[in-house]
Structure 1
């Protein structure tokens, strides 16, 4: 089962997060085969992180709790909170399957409470419905995409209202 795990950074935790990044990457190395998408959300200028997104394929709720709460950023106190939802991947792929990067476009995580709808664009990296961990209650959807600006990202995701976060592919650099 796939899960959407999004830790939102605590205000002022930038230096702490930076110090824990090597440990975080080592932890994620243990999940390399299970990761569907990963990466930080960013401030509008792209200079600082605001959160850490992971979409991961794990067999049980217990396994995703271990993933989320044993993660070094969480253990170290970087996050204000962590959102964990089931994720129904409508693209069937991973972020690494996306090969359409266009110069001049930025990447975004768009999160909305909207009902599911079909999306079709070469700028969609992946998207899916979010649901509760213990029921089929629909909680919204998440879209990873590229667009020129946040407003265009919301339009491409057909999401209004929406939370639009600048985002980038994660992993070792």
Structure 2
């Protein structure tokens, strides 16, 4: 089962996150084989605002353990966690995406819709790094979408999801994460 996990930073938690980076990476190393995508969100001045992890785990219990046993969460770095079942519509990982384009930026785009049992319109295109619907725990109800995309601007990222299909759309600067090579 695939899950989307977004730990949103508590305001002012960057020093704590920086102090705990090795603990965070060591924890994530345990899940490396299951990762579809990962990386930080941040502001234009590169202040951290969150941490995205998309991964394949056995069940919802394992996903909750992953999210809430994360060292930064345990230390109080995060204000909340968005944890949802997810379906990898591209069938690949971020590492399969390639090197990207030098004139583009990367973004996390979250769209939230009224719960539905129908399929929702999701984007397709070469600019998509990862894409899939946000689902209920049993996977039967769609509640939104999470897309990682590489485009020129935040405005372009916002246009990845159709405003007609979503009650709210959030755009966050994002980049590939993980332990530096």
Coarse TM-score class (shorter-chain normalised): over 0.9
CA contact 2:85–2:139 (8 Å) conserved in 1: no
Corresponding pairs, count: 171
Unaligned stretches of 5+ residues in structure 2: 114-118
CA contact 2:122–2:161 (8 Å) conserved in 1: no
- CA shift, 1:116, in A, is 2.2
Residue from 148, 159, 163 that aligns with 2:162:
159
For residues 118 and 20 of structure 1, the distance between their equivalents in structure 2, rounded to whole angstroms, comes to 36
For residues 22 and 100 of structure 1, the distance between their equivalents in structure 2, rounded to whole angstroms, comes to 25
For residues 47 and 162 of structure 2, the distance between their equivalents in structure 1, rounded to whole angstroms, comes to 25
Partner of 2:179 in structure 1? Answer: 172
What SS does the aligned partner of 1:63 have? Answer: helix
CA contact 1:100–1:123 (8 Å) conserved in 2: no
Once superposed, what is the RMSD of the aligned Cα atoms? 1.4
For residues 135 and 28 of structure 1, the distance between their equivalents in structure 2, rounded to whole angstroms, comes to 25
Unaligned stretches of 5+ residues in structure 1: none
When the two structures are superposed, what TM-score results if normalisation uses the length of structure 1? Answer: 0.94
Partner of 2:53 in structure 1? Answer: 54
When the two structures are superposed, what TM-score results if normalisation uses the length of structure 2? Answer: 0.90
| Over 6 Å off, 4+ runs | none
